[in-house]
Structure 1
Amino acid sequence: MVAVYRHDIHKARMRGHEHAEDSFWGIRVNEQVPLGADRDAALLSRPRGEPEQMLDAHESWFRVSLLTGKVASTVEPVADVGGSLTELISIEDPEALHAAWLDSVVTSLFSESPYYPYTSLKYHTVLAAALLDNYRSGVEFDELFLAVTPPGADPVVVPHRTVLVTSGFALHVTGEPGDRPAARLGGAPSRSFADVWARLPAVPFDVDGERRWRVLDAQLRRIRSWSAALQFIEEYVAALDPVAAGAGGDGRDA
């Protein structure tokens, strides 16, 4: 589980697989992820086949924000990318490493591929980890669910299975949804986030009482790439703060 969180560090160094190095500051990186988890996570966010340039003027590994249209590194720059990456991947405890990735800023600056600039290296990695942890437990892809925090409940982080956490809710990819609202991912990995989100029996926020939540819900019913959708949620909550608005405002300024 430690290796999966380190498997795509070359992308944060703006290098493709063919130019990836085996170590970064003495830390083993870029190892192959077993059980097809990396491949399946990629299929959740990117199309099969040869990549095509999505933005003619953008040929960088820096991610483009789906929320603002701006390059992420210009909005939330990290002064020492190399140092931040080293600090992140030097964590040896798998659960602590998972928690650090959920909180990571530096990895959210990069896309999965310069061909698909709206995707997110951060969320590709946590999705690959969630798939690997489930596969290691004997769960097949068609047995997986997207499970969300029940409305009104506090978010709980499940090691390796939680793929996003905010101040108000969390999302999990798991074969054991328990009593949380959940929807099956489907028969095979695909860019299906919008479809899965639309099948949830309940969303983890109050779409009836807060306009900003309704806007978020509507957008998530359109975004198909999983890593792009998860990154969009993170940015939306941080930028527009619907949690705070729900506590003290009516959201009419949104």
Structure 2
Amino acid sequence: MSDSRTRVLINCYRHDAHKINGQPHDTAPETFAGVPVNQTVPHGADGDASALSRPSGEPKQTMENHETHYRLSLIEGESRYSPDKFTRNGVESAVRDLLIEDDHEAMHQAWLTSDVVSVFNETVYYPYTSLKYHTLLVAALLDNYRDGHEFADLRLVVDDGGVFVPHRTVYACEEFALRIDVDPRGQPSARLGSRPWRSWASAWNRLEAHPLETAHDKYDMVLDANLRRIAAWSTALQYIEDYMEAFDR
């Protein structure tokens, strides 16, 4: 991979650093701990990833009395930030480690496994969305676009647990992984659609096979049923993570 391509991917994982600090993009610092942050992502990948989770047009406050950059959980209905679990110093240290990483594949792995960035939403206007999964979606779209693929070519692919495709895997646990790619490599998949929109439930419903044991496991049955109702991609991916954690899956 060329140095320029590597740098673009690394910058992609840093492009929304301002949201972690609850700062507007226009006034946020251009560097953090000596590395460039908050740069524009090429090929329209950021805008397309946003469209997967948020409606177009001027945003409107959707939750009264919640105007912070901390994400609300669909399971608990409360902020995922807890001073008991995430100390300020701990959050700052973890964020620093994420942003100053300079190996693009290590950076992808770090975002996939981070519980700290799961605390933040994409925007205060849509507090159930997830900054973590928005960023992973941006990276997946960017990597595909840089290979010349169009959005209409892309598929949601179900991989086995432990399978990681650099920059294209957007969710991973022991049981299965999910990626955005053009080649399913023989795995179950579904087209994303002709354009980016809040189509998670549509894609999930069209998968050729599902990774959950809905016929034998009541927890998987509930998870699957709810995933068939969620439209926003970052919200849905974050819900899987939260659900797996809450019910020790």
SS of equivalent residue, structure 1 residue 124: helix
Quick check: 39-48 or 74-83, which moved more?
74-83
Partner of 1:103: 113
Instruction: Give the deviation of 1:90 after TM superposition.
Output: 1.1
SS of equivalent residue, structure 1 residue 39: helix
Instruction: Give the deviation of 1:75 after TM superposition.
Output: 8.0
Partner of 1:119: 129
Partner of 1:87: 97
Partner of 1:174: 181
User: 1:126 & 1:76 partners in 2: Cα distance?
Assistant: 27
Aligned length: 239
> Is 1:155 aligned to 2:162, yes or no?
yes
Instruction: Give the deviation of 1:167 after TM superposition.
Output: 1.5
Instruction: Give the deviation of 1:205 after TM superposition.
Output: 2.0
Partner of 2:79: 71
Q: Is the 8 A contact 2:171 2:178 kept in 1?
A: yes
Letter in 1 for 2:72: V
User: 1:46 & 1:77 partners in 2: Cα distance?
Assistant: 28
Letter in 1 for 2:131: L
Cα separation, partners in 2 of 1:203 and 1:127, compared to 1, 3 Å: same
Partner of 1:252: none
> Is 1:140 aligned to 2:150, yes or no?
yes
User: 1:188 & 1:82 partners in 2: Cα distance?
Assistant: 36
Letter in 1 for 2:62: M
Percent of residue pairs identical: 49
> Is 1:236 aligned to 2:243, yes or no?
yes
* 1:44 maps to which of 37, 52, 62: 52
Partner of 1:57: 65
User: 1:5 & 1:36 partners in 2: Cα distance?
Assistant: 15
Partner of 2:6: none
* 2:206 maps to which of 199, 206, 213: 199
> Is 1:10 aligned to 2:10, yes or no?
no
Instruction: Give the deviation of 1:154 after TM superposition.
Output: 3.5
Partner of 1:22: 30
User: Which structure 1 segments of 5+ residues have no match?
Assistant: 243-254
Instruction: Give the deviation of 1:76 after TM superposition.
Output: 7.1
Q: Is the 8 A contact 2:161 2:173 kept in 1?
A: no
User: Which structure 2 segments of 5+ residues have no match?
Assistant: 1-8
Letter in 2 for 1:215: V
Give a deviation string over 1:152-171, Cα, whole Å, max 9, x none: x4330110000000121100
Quick check: 33-42 or 81-90, which moved more?
81-90
How does the TM-score come out when normalised to structure 1? 0.92
How does the TM-score come out when normalised to structure 2? 0.93
User: 1:10 & 1:172 partners in 2: Cα distance?
Assistant: 26
Structure 1 runs, 4 residues or longer, greater than 3 Å off: none
Give a deviation string over 1:115-174, Cα, whole Å, max 9, x none: 00000000000000000000011110000000012xxx4330110000000121100011
Instruction: Give the deviation of 1:16 after TM superposition.
Output: 1.7
Letter in 2 for 1:239: A
User: 1:228 & 1:97 partners in 2: Cα distance?
Assistant: 22
User: 1:19 & 1:232 partners in 2: Cα distance?
Assistant: 31
Instruction: Give the deviation of 1:59 after TM superposition.
Output: 0.5
Quick check: 46-55 or 12-21, which moved more?
12-21
SS of equivalent residue, structure 2 residue 179: strand
* 1:130 maps to which of 118, 135, 140: 140
Q: Is the 8 A contact 2:161 2:172 kept in 1?
A: no
